[in-house]
Amino acid sequence: MSLEEVYQEIEKNKEDSIDILCELLKIPSMAAKKTGAPEAIEFLSKIFEEAGFKYFISETKGNPVFCAEMNVGSEKTLLFYDHYDVQPEDPVDLWDSPPFEPAIRDGKIFARGVSDNKGEIICRLQAIKAYNKIYGKPPINIKFVIEGEEEVGSPNLEEFVNNDKEFISDADGCIWEFGGRDGDGIQQVYLGVKGILYLHLKTRTIGRDVHSGYTQFVDNAAYELVWALSIIKDRKDKIQVPGFYDNISKPSAEDMKIIKEFELKEDLLKKMYGIEEFRLGLTGLELKKKYFLEPTCNICGLWSGYQGPGGKTVTPNEAFAKVDLRLVPGQNPKDLIEKIRKFWDENNFQHIEITEWDGYEAAKTSIKDPFAVAVIETIKEVEGHEPIIWPMVGGSGPMYLFEGVPCISIGCGHANSNAHAPNENIFIDDFVVGMKTIAKLIHRF
Amino acid sequence: MSLEEVYQEIEKNKEDSIDILCELLKIPSMAAKKTGAPEAIEFLSKIFEEAGFKYFISETKGNPVFCAEMNVGSEKTLLFYDHYDVQPEDPVDLWDSPPFEPAIRDGKIFARGVSDNKGEIICRLQAIKAYNKIYGKPPINIKFVIEGEEEVGSPNLEEFVNNDKEFISDADGCIWEFGGRDGDGIQQVYLGVKGILYLHLKTRTIGRDVHSGYTQFVDNAAYELVWALSIIKDRKDKIQVPGFYDNISKPSAEDMKIIKEFELKEDLLKKMYGIEEFRLGLTGLELKKKYFLEPTCNICGLWSGYQGPGGKTVTPNEAFAKVDLRLVPGQNPKDLIEKIRKFWDENNFQHIEITEWDGYEAAKTSIKDPFAVAVIETIKEVEGHEPIIWPMVGGSGPMYLFEGVPCISIGCGHANSNAHAPNENIFIDDFVVGMKTIAKLIHRF
């Protein structure tokens, strides 16, 4: 029995693994659109049971959380956090093949959710199956928590965590959902995630749209919203809400060391996103500090009035926006939403209604934690060189709910995976190497 | 021979007049959708020829202008300005009967364009036919200019005016296209229209949408647009573009007198549009001054990024807006667009592109002009009481092209005519009284 045999088993089952992944990818499990959750749960139940896991489905106010466990009586437990929901497929006409009909081209699998994060679910499961085929059972206890609302901000994961506290708290480490290689093909390791506050805004001023010849009489909902958004953040990206920066934790010396050493591949980023110059002309350490250490305020969507051809002259009575704020350690979304509401009220923006919101805090794991060391060493050995260490990623995840469990994010995506965008994809090779990494990690850990 | 006989003739021909109007209403002549112009021209040619007019069709880069003339060798000429195009019928599912199948219910005719402005075309033509039946011929020369692109901002009317200058310039007065009764049934007279500058805006920052976890690196197109719009106008509705108010003509003592005497039916307006309080809490003279004398800046439409359900986290690379500015006498749209462009450039809003624009100046006629006096006196006599005099209406029209010709707007609509909206309608009684007013006006003038 050797890991080499496990690797051979993984290679042998490659086509099987791709088939299982494609079956999962065909299920349009979009939390935002409230589709596909029951089908995804049913499919997960089937494949985890076949792999020898015990599973249970934890109901919440929203989509249920799928949990699976393989207890071998070890003192150590490794947890995987994943999600079976995916981003909406819009704009669907920019896809080269239908988002929920997986297609293989140029050594890549294309489908919505393949990189975020159905690819990792199957990669992790298949790695464990291959390991067990050779060794009979894993050397440690394995658990999976696969939720169904990550892409809408995990509004009900806290309910799950409160209901099933021990399921999480006795884990010695957690492999987080996402990750992959950078533009040069180097594997990356993420030690933390930002928090988030997601706001759904609605402005309604008067009873109905008005011919714009009468605009003097009424409040234009679109203009009210424009003014309200313009005072939240200035053009230097400083958020103007009083107290917004009050509770932010000072970065540690260890954080600053990682940030300084971190090689931000600016040219690669520019090419990838079609950026001529980074925002505010920043570069080098200033740009890295902005990225890793500052909270953000971002308009995700905005709409009001007439959007068709030609020139309708109308004063809209309703306007809408979706805004996300990425939070850094120390910031609490509930505290911030109260500050934002107060700021708008004090500036006479009572028209602006926060119709819905969700969010959670940031979280991170120390690079010196034994679990972090194990993950980094494993990747170094499988890949043959050092991974890139991200002290914190710009994206968010409900990692704070796993308090006390060191969480590290790795995965099988890459720089052009197009997560959240058309033509989402992963390389088949990365999918396979990912399995080997997981197999080696459970062996070592 | 007496006007009374003309009135009897009008009553006698009422059903005929409705039939002719319905024929015209069946033609879906929408400039925005490029439909029905040839059919409308053909129908107008037929009915004006039958009525004894000479007509010609003046070609332009867009829809042709239909012109008709009845020259009796008089020293005086009365001109009518109308348009055969109508607003698009959308949203079609809110109509109680199909928009291009005229229906009669509750003493009203329902169809797209019946109040704006096909009803007036037929009302005016039928009045002249009845007058001629009794008197043999009109006492003055009569001309009609009926264009086909009023609802899309009359982009080619200037070309027509330049080509056929004398046709317009030798008129002693012009009855403009629109008008009607207020919510209390009182006939209204409009002495002028505002100018307009309509802007189509596009912001494009980077190559593609970006996951909002990377928003720190890029310019958010929606936020750029929000900031650009927010600096154009402050929350007191003062437009901040340098020089914007420079050339505005000071209102005359006569204007101020009309405005002071004008009874703005505030309660009626509030009820009609579902307004709790007028913008900025204004009322009385301050509100009237704002309405009649100030230019506006209004967002008609706004869109960017994700507008679907749930919470997509994206930094949009494109954002769009449609903005109309209503201009007062002295302001020129070409001058203003240069000032707006310069203002944005000086504030580093090069991202904001004005992809398209059109516009024209305001125009108005003095209440002391003999033609204005004639129209007002005629209405007083037909109606039995004073009409409401609007020194200027909040809407716009290409009246400035008729420079030197006093223009007055009256019509057969009413406060709930739903021009530009579903279930557009006029009262049959108003249509008939309108004919009597026109007959009396040509008799007197």
User: What is the least distance, in Å, from the CA of B165 to any CA of chain A?
Assistant: 28
- Cα A387 from Cα B168, distance rounded (Å): 79
Instruction: Domain A195-248+295-360: give its CATH architecture.
Output: 2-Layer Sandwich (3.30)
Which of A224, A217, A175, A83 lies closest to B302, judged by CA?
Answer: A224
What ipTM is given for this predicted complex? 0.90
Predicted TM-score (pTM) of the model is 0.87
User: What is the least distance, in Å, from the CA of A18 to any CA of chain B?
Assistant: 26
Residue found under tokens 């005086």: B76
User: What is the least distance, in Å, from the CA of A130 to any CA of chain B?
Assistant: 34
Do residue A303 and residue B307 have CB atoms under 8 angstroms apart?
Answer: yes
Domain boundaries, chain B: 3-191+365-444, 195-360
Pair A167, A67: CB distance under 8 Å: yes
Parallel, antiparallel, or unpaired for β A173-176 and A407-409? parallel
On chain B, the residues whose CB falls within 8 A of the CB of A226 are 226, 229-230, 299, 302
The residues near A281 (Cβ < 8 Å, ≥ 6 apart) are none
Pair A124, A175: CB distance under 8 Å: yes
Write out the DSSP string of A189-214.
EE-EEEEEEEEEEEEE-SSS-EEGGG
Q: In CATH, what class is B195-360? A: alpha beta
Residue found under tokens 């505005």: B248
* Residue from the list B225, B276, B307 with its beta carbon closest to the beta carbon of A301: B307
Which of B251, B396, B189, B114 lies closest to A313, judged by CA?
Answer: B396
Topology (CATH) of A3-191+365-444: Aminopeptidase (3.40.630)
Pair A189, A376: CB distance under 8 Å: yes
Topology match between the domains B3-191+365-444 and B195-360: no
| pLDDT tens, per residue, chain A with 445 residues | 899 999 999 999 999 999 999 999 999 999 999 999 999 999 999 999 999 999 999 999 999 999 999 999 999 999 999 999 999 998 889 999 999 999 999 999 999 999 999 999 999 999 999 999 999 999 999 999 999 999 888 889 999 999 988 899 999 999 999 999 998 899 999 999 999 999 999 999 988 888 899 999 999 999 999 999 999 999 999 999 999 999 999 999 999 999 999 999 999 889 988 899 999 999 999 999 999 999 999 999 999 999 988 888 899 999 999 999 999 999 999 999 999 999 999 999 999 999 999 889 999 999 999 999 999 999 999 999 999 999 999 888 899 999 999 999 999 999 889 888 899 999 999 999 999 999 999 999 8
DSSP letter, residue B13: T
Parallel, antiparallel, or unpaired for β B318-327 and B192-204? antiparallel
Count the Cβ atoms, other than its own, within 10 Å of residue A395. Answer: 20
Residue found under tokens 């070309």: B159
Do residue B217 and residue A420 have CB atoms under 8 angstroms apart?
Answer: no
Do residue B315 and residue A303 have CB atoms under 8 angstroms apart?
Answer: no
Please give the sequence-ordered ranges of beta strands (E in DSSP) within B212-351, or none if there are none: 298-305, 314-315, 318-327
DSSP letter, residue B317: S
Beta bridge mates, A358: A198
- Cα B5 from Cα B263, distance rounded (Å): 36
